[in-house]
Copies of this chain bind each other. A is one copy, B any other.
Amino acid sequence: MEAVVRTTSFQHYLDQLYARFLDVRDGDVANYIPELAHVDADAFGMALVTVDGHVYQAGDSRTPFSIQSISKAFTYGIALEDQGPARVAEKIDVEPSGEAFNSISLEPKTGRPRNPMINAGAIVATSLVNGEDAAARLERILAKFEHYAGRPLGINPAIYESERSTGHRNRAIAHLLRNYEILEGDPEEPLDAYFRQCAIEVTARDLALMGATLANDGVNPITAVRALPSPLVPNVLAVMATCGMYDYSGNWIFQVGMPAKSGVGGGVVAVLPGQFGLAVYSPRLDAKGNSVRGIAVCESVSRDFGMHMLRVTRTTTHSVVRNTYTLADVHSNLQRDRDSALALREHGHRALVLELTGELMFVAAEVISSTVADAMSGRDWLILDLARVMAVDNPGGALLTALMDELIDAGKIVVIAGSDGHFAFRQAVRVHFNGRDAAPVFDYADVDRALEYVEDRILESIGLPSHEQRQVHLDEQPLCKGLAADELDLFRSLLDEQSFRPGQVICAEGEAADFVYLLRHGRVRVSLTLDNKHNHRLGAYTAGWVFGESALFSDHNRSADIIADTNVSLYRLDPARLEQPKDARIAALKAKLFANLAELSLDRLVRANHEIRVLTK
């Protein structure tokens, strides 16, 4: 049903839940172990920890209790890690038994336990943990549990004693398993480790964090320590999903929809993969051995917030394409001569840019493929900007590679920008195109350089000279548009020429703006030195551009460094030389220069406002 949220904040909601179920007295404390009967039957605590490490809690969330059967899920994970899933599968099946938690449920012929969540399977799982003896195995189990919980854990000796001295049924199971040779050696040894493992003391907060670690792909979201290898996380969650709540498991997934595990100690932990771990402590159990209030709380959270692992969300397919534009609408920060700029406005539509975001999974990549398929007709270049992509998983990477392959086969050029963070994807693409005569271009860390690269290719393709070659003499400078020959000579007489070698600083950030420059040849970059001491390129100018014009206006300082990218030659103007009001010729020249400057600025402004509209559309 659509979720009815009766809360002003999740913490407040948890507090309400706590109050709502505080007086519930249904069910009884487990008594099959004398010591368990001594706990406070009415203790009640809960905690929720998100995958970004935010902790919500209410009630006795820090009261220690014995983990009991909840340990089965985590120890099974260790067994999978130590022996590999194949070897573990020979000893423990993963089928729900449809029977109670203490059922023996062994496979008729082989004696293989039906799953690792029943005692028989759990004892076998404990025996599969690396370690030369019970003590070593237990040490490893404890250490792993501590990675999940993010703090040192201990064993309750009284509970252990009680389990050991009264665990006749488990002892019988262990010997039966030995008889089938599912257990090797002395069955008392894994049995003892199992008893101790069940007596490990945790709190609801610990359990919620342990669950959040599974929700977070096996990495503790607070300590950032990995507790379980990523590939095994789905396996552990799968067994919790099908067998975690004993013979209530089917109803649990139907109604709550979160892999979970309960223990007769009164704890229950539920995991919403990718979102959070939720844990409750309340010792009164129902007939199936599950915490009454534990089930009630988890059902409420799932129902009230509509949180169910099988609830469909389609984030992946939607938010993947952050923005789409062509080089006709947005240009690189390389300021080109007017002819080139006009040519790019005319031909820029031939290059499509896709700004991607989020996680590129199968369907996300599928959406990109369809988007591109529709949009690439009549275009020759595709730029994929991955700078904001969090991850490219293998299905997504494979489809993107396929897309690039098809485009390249069709004679198009594909450029990938901002892929530095995605080594595996880059590697896969490199391998895929290895030895082919055409491959995607991967050289650009930021999209600006990629745009510049494609702009150069477009200009090449229509036979315009590259900016490296251009010489723009004074009479061709846009700033001199419409000057008569004598005005040009006058202007030249006011200028001096300068040249710089690559890397030389022409203007430095912060210093007074004293000169205006006309770029005759070469290319300069405008760059900022950031707090991290790295240089950030804001843009670059090529021959024919005016820069530093703020010197024409009173008391400006340079807002950035201007540095020669190549060998550079400049015309330099000292604005003071235009300040001769008595001289009508200079006044007229000045008027024309400012008129041209105003027109150039206006063009650039119109252009910039257009880009802002495109980028914020």
Q: Which of A19-27, A67-75, A230-238, A457-465 lies at the interface? A: A230-238
CB of A8 within 8 A of chain B? yes
CA distance A237 to B358 in the complex (A): 26
Interface string of A52-70 (1 = CB under 8 A from B): 1010000000000000000
Whether the pair A54, B361 counts as a contact (CB closer than 8 A) is: no
CA distance A114 to B393 in the complex (A): 39
CB of A223 within 8 A of chain B? no
* Smallest CB separation, A226 vs chain B (Å): 13
Whether the pair B397, A5 counts as a contact (CB closer than 8 A) is: yes
Whether the pair B7, A402 counts as a contact (CB closer than 8 A) is: yes
Number of A residues, CB within 8 Å of B: 121
CB of A172 within 8 A of chain B? no
Report which of B5, B231, B403, B539 forms a contact with A2, defined as CB distance below 8 A: B231
CB of A336 within 8 A of chain B? no
Whether the pair B312, A370 counts as a contact (CB closer than 8 A) is: no
Report which of B99, B274, B398 forms a contact with A312, defined as CB distance below 8 A: B274
Report which of B115, B242, B312, B609 forms a contact with A216, defined as CB distance below 8 A: B312
Q: Which of A89-97, A125-133, A146-154, A490-498 lies at the interface? A: A89-97
A115 contact set on B, CB distance < 8 A: 250
CB of A591 within 8 A of chain B? yes
Interface string of A1-15 (1 = CB under 8 A from B): 111110111101100
CB of A182 within 8 A of chain B? no
Interface string of A370-405 (1 = CB under 8 A from B): 100000000000000000101001110111011101
Copies in the complex: 2
CB of A314 within 8 A of chain B? yes
Smallest CB-CB separation from A595: which chain B residue?
B594
CB of A306 within 8 A of chain B? yes
Question: Which residues of chain A (237-261) have a CB below 8 Å from chain B?
Answer: 237-239, 241-243, 247-251, 253-254, 257, 259
CB of A587 within 8 A of chain B? yes
CB of A317 within 8 A of chain B? yes
CA distance A615 to B613 in the complex (A): 10
Question: Which residues of chain A (514-561) have a CB below 8 Å from chain B?
Answer: 538-539, 549-550, 552-553, 559
Whether the pair A96, B96 counts as a contact (CB closer than 8 A) is: yes
CB of A599 within 8 A of chain B? yes
A553 contact set on B, CB distance < 8 A: 595, 598-599, 602
A114 contact set on B, CB distance < 8 A: 98
Question: Which residues of chain A (593-617) have a CB below 8 Å from chain B?
Answer: 594-595, 597-599, 601-602, 604-606, 608-609, 611-613, 615-616
**Contact sample, A vs B, 11 pairs, CB 8 Å cutoff:** A2-B394, A7-B398, A10-B398, A550-B602, A553-B602, A584-B584, A594-B594, A594-B597, A597-B598, A608-B609, A612-B615
Known A2-B394, A95-B250, A615-B615; 18 more pairs at CB < 8 Å:
A5-B398, A8-B405, A10-B402, A52-B363, A95-B247, A95-B248, A234-B310, A238-B257, A242-B250, A273-B312, A314-B390, A315-B316, A315-B361, A550-B602, A552-B599, A591-B594, A594-B594, A608-B609
